[in-house]
Chain A
Amino acid sequence: MDYKEFYNPEESFSRSELEALQTERLKTTVKHCMDSAFYHRRFKENGLSVSDISTLDDLKKIPFTTKQDLRDTYPFGIASVPLRECTRLHSSSGTTGNPTVILHTAKDLDQWANAVARCLWMVGCRPEDVFQNTSGYGMFTGGLGFQYGAERLGMLTVPAAAGNTLRQLKFFTDFGTTVVHAIPSYAARLYEVMCEKGIDPRRDTSLRTLVIGAEPHSEDTRRRIEDMLSIKAYNSFGMSEMMGPGVAFECREQNGMHIWEDYFIVEIVNPDTLEPVPDGEVGELVLTTINREAMPLLRYRTRDLTRILPGDCPCGRHHLRLDRMKGRSDDMIILKGVNIFPIQIETVLMHFEELASDYLITLETLSDNDAMTVDVELKDMIFDDYSRLQTLEKEITRQLRDEILITPKVRLVPKNSLPKSEGKAVRVKDLRKKF
């Protein structure tokens, strides 16, 4: 079958066409934002009016929106439409402080599905493909986000969801899965189990495309996974605040992720001065949504550090390319695609009177799997009993898992053996293989 290269005409837009579209959509978005109690107040407080924003350059007059703003207005304070017009919400994990909520109208979901379909099309997915999604479904956007996008494209979808590796492999062989979405560490795990079970990905499966993301990984890791599975692996970028997966995606050049500029206006700023960084330099990614109804966000500080790759992409798309994420400008940890703030862990630990106040979070790559260890100090030897120490360890593990949705390894250590909390204590040690 012969297919066109681009899924949407917007993909072929020149810079000037993109900027014209962005300008129009920015104006519409700002006007629409005045129906949001939050933005209405914010504009008023800053002496701004809708008419002040008529060019892309005017964007910088608008104050940044932060995750804290989302928390402060939890759950629906930023919405620009009445709730009855919304058809879905996604919420961040965790119970510490306020989680964040992102609302969607039917049109938002439609546009989201289109963006994901466009991404998948770009890396060569076609309706003949069988798409298996190993993301958790539910509140995690990697599940439903890819699901609707893959359906939109017309692939046969296998919503396998997370876990149960043997079943995933059975689906590969029985259903002839050709495209898989998995976080890099899980892709490596799939290969490991294939080896154990004597499954040769080349001989026994039809896999050819892997979509990865949501977990920091290096170019080396990508190449290794590609070799192991004999597959092409494409990096992706998304975040629930911007809708979820589908924000930016690598094309077949595998050199930077095109961010869809008909959906977003991209800025890269110095996280300290909040001034734009010179072209090509690393800074914090700031995004403005220009294609959303329920909850547009203006100049949202993503806290992700990256840069814009200079030059044109041979694929013919003029949408800017983001480099691999270089880290965070806050203390958020991304582990197995899950966002975790150390304060969530701290809050859980503080409830245990057996523990002193110091703790250490270590992130490591153990045989291709990223894992978290939490060292906690035993305040006192209040019991002379192994079973109670083990019970304590288990209870801490359980409560942490409930909070961060990942099961860490909890290690009891004697008091005074961890770095002191005075000044800037080292709370997180990231020893993962990446960048």
Chain B
Amino acid sequence: MTINQISIFIENKSGTLVKVLKLLKEEGIQLIASTIADTAEYGICRIICSEPQKAYDTLREHGVAASLCEVFALELDDVPGRAADAIELFASKGISIAYLYSFLLNGKGCLVFRTDNNSLARQVIQENELKFIPEKDLSKLL
């Protein structure tokens, strides 16, 4: 029910992001979504990509501090209010969302987030029959 996101520790210095992205490029890995928040000294670059395991292995081989972590990716209709409805379901169960980002792909909205309680979140998804994107579909999304 979750997908693997790559999280990379990035120093706030010009050229560091390029180095990471080039490694993925050389392996033919395609980015689907990515985000970095701005902080003074360093950032965490979070990436959803076509082959997370391969991306992770590649980065590790090149000594990049990276981790694979489970995040949820919900597919939502591209109409106003869908995100609010979905998030409310989690909030009502007391589930906190650590971070969230979204993107549009092939006319569908995609909401990526990490929670503080994955098993409860799974339950919410099942009970409400929310549409989630399974990992194997990631490369098909492109």
Contacts and interface: CB of A to CB of B under 8 A. Distances in A.
Nearest to A382: B67
B46 A384 contact: yes
B39 A379 contact: no
Interface in B2-24: 5, 7-11, 16
Contacts of B41: 411-412
A241 to B, nearest CB: 39
Interface in A353-386: 378-386
A411 B42 CA distance: 9
Contacts of A382: 67
Contacts of B91: none
Given A384-B114, A385-B98, A386-B37, A378 B9 contact: yes
Contact of B67 (A381, A415, A417): A381
Contact of A384 (B39, B64, B67): B67
Nearest to B70: A384
Contacts of B8: 381
Interface string A388-429: 010000000000000000000001111111000000000000
Contacts of A378: 9, 65
B65 A384 contact: no
A384 to B, nearest CB: 4
Nearest to A410: B41
A226 B106 CA distance: 71
Interface residues of A, number: 17
Contacts of A412: 9, 41-42
A379 B5 contact: no
B5 A384 contact: yes
Given A381-B7, A381-B8, A416 B67 contact: no
B126 to A, nearest CB: 24
Point out which of B5, B10, B63 has the most chain A C-beta atoms below 10 A from its C-beta. B63
A389 B7 contact: no
B65 A380 contact: yes
Q: Could you tell me the dominant secondary structure of chain B's interface residues?
A: strand
Contact of A389 (B42, B69, B98, B114): B42
B44 A414 contact: no
Nearest to B64: A414
Interface residues of B, number: 21
A412 B10 CA distance: 10
B48 interface: no
B44 A417 contact: no
A381 B11 contact: no
Contact of B7 (A379, A384, A414): A384
B9 A414 contact: yes
A386 B44 contact: yes
A382 B9 CA distance: 10
B49 interface: no
B66 interface: yes
Interface string B95-118: 000100000000000000010000
Contacts of A383: 67
A416 B63 contact: yes
Contacts of A379: 65
Interface string B28-57: 000000000101011010100000000000
Contacts of B11: 413-414, 417
Nearest to B71: A384
Contacts of A384: 5, 7, 44, 46, 67, 69, 114
Given A386-B39, A412-B41, A381 B5 contact: no
A413 B43 CA distance: 10
Interface of A: 378-386, 389, 411-417
Q: Which 6 A-B pairs have the closest CB atoms?
A: A384-B7, A381-B65, A381-B67, A384-B69, A416-B63, A381-B9
11 contacts: A380-B65, A380-B67, A381-B67, A384-B5, A384-B44, A384-B114, A385-B98, A411-B41, A414-B16, A414-B64, A416-B63
Given A381-B7, A411-B41, A413-B11, 8 more contacts: A380-B67, A383-B67, A384-B44, A386-B37, A412-B9, A412-B42, A414-B11, A415-B63
